[in-house]
Homo-oligomer: A and B are copies of this chain.
Amino acid sequence: MNPTAILLLHCPDTTGIISEITRFITDNGGNIVDIDQFVDHIEGMFFMRIEWELDHFAIERDKIAEILDTLYAKRFNAKCNLYFSDIPPRMAIFVSKMGHCLYDLLARYQSGEWRVEIPCIISNHEDMRHVAEQFSIPYYVFPIEKDKSNVAQVEAAELELLRRERISFIVLARYMQIITDGLIAAYPNRIINIHHSFLPAFVGAKPYHQAWTRGVKIIGATSHYVTAELDAGPIIEQDVVRITHRDTPQSLVKKGRDLEKIVLARAVTQHIERRILTYDNKTVILN
C-alpha cells in the first residue's frame, strides 16, 4: 500500500473550499483516494477528511502542513490536522482489574488488525500484569491511595511516562479511576473511554444495576472522548443489546462485556484511521 497523507479540516462554512483543496492536491500530482465532507448547516461549519497518495505528490512531506496553513488555514479560518499513514499513532492503555477490553485490544494489536504501536499499559493495580506479559508489553503500576492523597504525584509520573513513550492517544479499557484535569489537558480529545451504558442514560457508577432497577429492555455501551465533566464528552460510538425480564444485574454485566469490547474497538479503529473530528462536544466521523 502506498503511503498517504490524511488531512482533517474544519472551518466556518463558505463556498469553494472543496474545489480549492482538491485542485491543490490534484495540481500537485496527488491522487485522492478518499474524500468525505460534511456541512453542519445549523452551526454553519464545514468538515472535511481527504486522503491522497504521496508517491507522485510534488510537495515534500515536511512542507505540506506549512503550505496548507499558508494557503488555506488562515484564509478559511480553518483548523487543520495532517497525518501520514505510515507513521502509526502510539497508544497507551489504562486498565484496572477487568481484563475483557484489554484482551480484546491486545489480540487486535498482536494480530496486526491496526496500524498502531502500544508501548505501555498503565494501571492502578497489579491484577492485569500477567496479561501484559503474555503479550510482551511493559506494564506500569501507579497505585492510588484510598484517600487520593497521591493523585498529583501519580499524574505527574504518568505524564512523564507518556511523554517519554511519545504517546499520541490513550485508551481507558475499563479504568476505574477519575482522569485528572492535567491528563485531560495534555490529551484533549485524545483519551477514549468506554462507559458501560447507553449515555446519557445511567451516568456514573453501577450503570448495569441502574438499568436493571429501571427495567429497560435494551442496554448499551458508549465510547467517548474524556472531558472534565464525567461521562459527558463527545460520543464516538454506541451500540446496544436486547435484554429481558430474565436478566439480572449479573447477567447484564456479562452481556455488557461483549458490547463494551466491540464499542471500544470501533472507536479506537476510527481514531487510529484519523476519521474523527470534534466540534461543539460532538464528533463528526468521516469516511
The quantity of this chain's copies bound in the complex is 4
Establish whether residues B26 and A19, one from each chain, have CB atoms under 8 Å apart when the complex forms.
Answer: yes
| A235/B217 contact (C-beta < 8 A), A15-B31, A35-B37 known | yes
Within 234-257 of A, Cβ neighbours of B (below 8 Å) are at 234-240, 242, 244-246, 248, 254, 257
Establish whether residues B113 and A254, one from each chain, have CB atoms under 8 Å apart when the complex forms.
Answer: yes
Least Cβ distance of A97 to chain B in Å?
A: 11
Task: State the interface size on chain A (CB cutoff 8 A).
Answer: 63
Establish whether residues A238 and B216, one from each chain, have CB atoms under 8 Å apart when the complex forms.
Answer: yes
Residues of B within 8 A of A40 (CB): 245
Least Cβ distance of A175 to chain B in Å?
A: 17
Is A183 close to B, CB under 8 A? no
Contact partner of A103 (CB less than 8 A), chosen from B37, B41, B103, B285, is: B103
Residue in chain B with minimal CB distance to A200: B201
Q: Interface residues of A: mostly helix, strand, loop or mixed?
A: mixed
Pull 30 A–B residue pairs with CB atoms less than 8 Å apart, ordered by A.
A15-B32, A18-B18, A18-B19, A18-B22, A19-B19, A19-B22, A33-B39, A33-B41, A34-B39, A36-B36, A38-B245, A38-B246, A41-B248, A42-B248, A103-B107, A103-B111, A104-B104, A104-B107, A134-B135, A198-B198, A199-B216, A200-B214, A215-B234, A215-B235, A215-B282, A218-B220, A218-B240, A240-B240, A258-B262, A258-B265
The 8 closest A-B pairs by CB, nearest first: A215-B282, A103-B107, A201-B201, A19-B22, A245-B284, A19-B23, A217-B238, A19-B19
- Identify the A interface with B (CB < 8 A): 15-16, 18-19, 22-23, 26, 31-42, 99-100, 103-104, 107, 110-111, 113, 134-135, 198-202, 214-218, 220, 234-240, 242, 244-246, 248, 254, 257-258, 262, 265, 281-285, 287
